[in-house]
Amino acid sequence: MGGREDYGLAAKELGAVLAARRITVVYGGGRAGLMGTVADAALQNGGQVIGVITRLLQSRELAHTGCTELHVVETMHERKMMMANLADAFIALPGGLGTLDELFEILAWAQLGIHAKPVGLLNTCAYYDKLWEFMDHVENENFLRLNHRTQILVDEGPGELVERLSGAAAK
């Protein structure tokens, strides 16, 4: 859940916003952490939630059994691919290595033309500011083209970020 109460509150708000807008949550299918909080909030507000979890994680009793749909796959790669195929846009909440892994993989897939879906960073408590500074460095060193950088939307407010992503997805 991270070290700040604000992270959990933002996750709860995001789940409620997605449910209110009738946007289905697609995520890794776990019951813990910020994404478990998003899923719970979406479900509590009448939303739909699709989880995709590996058999290994399910066997460790980490699956969210309240999901509208729960897909069980064999590998992490299958999990990420299924989530990407089911999603219309991507939001990274504050998180650790798994979050960063998924974020950079989805950004690399966009750069390669595998998808053209919008990507957003929920920048609660300025969590992604240092990463954004690093992206400036990557761009300044000519390892990232401007058009790929502008595909990433950053906002502190869950409602505002969803609104911006919805507009980008409609294009």
pLDDT confidence of residue 59: 84
37-91 per-position pLDDT tens digit: 999 999 999 999 999 999 999 988 789 999 999 999 999 999 999 999 999 999 9
At residue 93, φ and ψ (nearest 5 deg) are -85, 170
pLDDT confidence of residue 87: 97
Helices (H) and strands (E) in the chain, counts: 8, 6
Taking the C-alpha atoms of residue 73 and residue 80, their distance in angstroms, rounded to an integer, is 10
Q: What burial letters (b/e) apply to 34-57, b meaning 16+ CB within 10 Å?
A: bbbbbbbbbbeeebbbbbbbbeeb
Name the token pair of 75.
Answer: 């590998």
Average pLDDT over residues 96-105: 95
pTM for the whole structure: 0.93
Taking the C-alpha atoms of residue 136 and residue 127, their distance in angstroms, rounded to an integer, is 16
Task: Output the CA–CA distances (angstroms, integers) from residue 98 to 80, 93, 166, in the order listed.
Answer: 11, 11, 25
Taking the C-alpha atoms of residue 154 and residue 130, their distance in angstroms, rounded to an integer, is 13
pLDDT of residue 105 exceeding 90: yes
CB contact at 8 A, 122 and 93: yes
106-134 per-position pLDDT tens digit: 999 998 889 999 999 999 999 999 999 99
pLDDT confidence of residue 146: 57
State the pLDDT confidence band at 1, using cuts at 50, 70 and 90: confident
- Edge-to-edge strands, sheet with 69-73: 25-27, 49-54, 69-73
**Alpha-carbon torsion, ordered 22, 25, 30, 36, to 10 deg:** -60
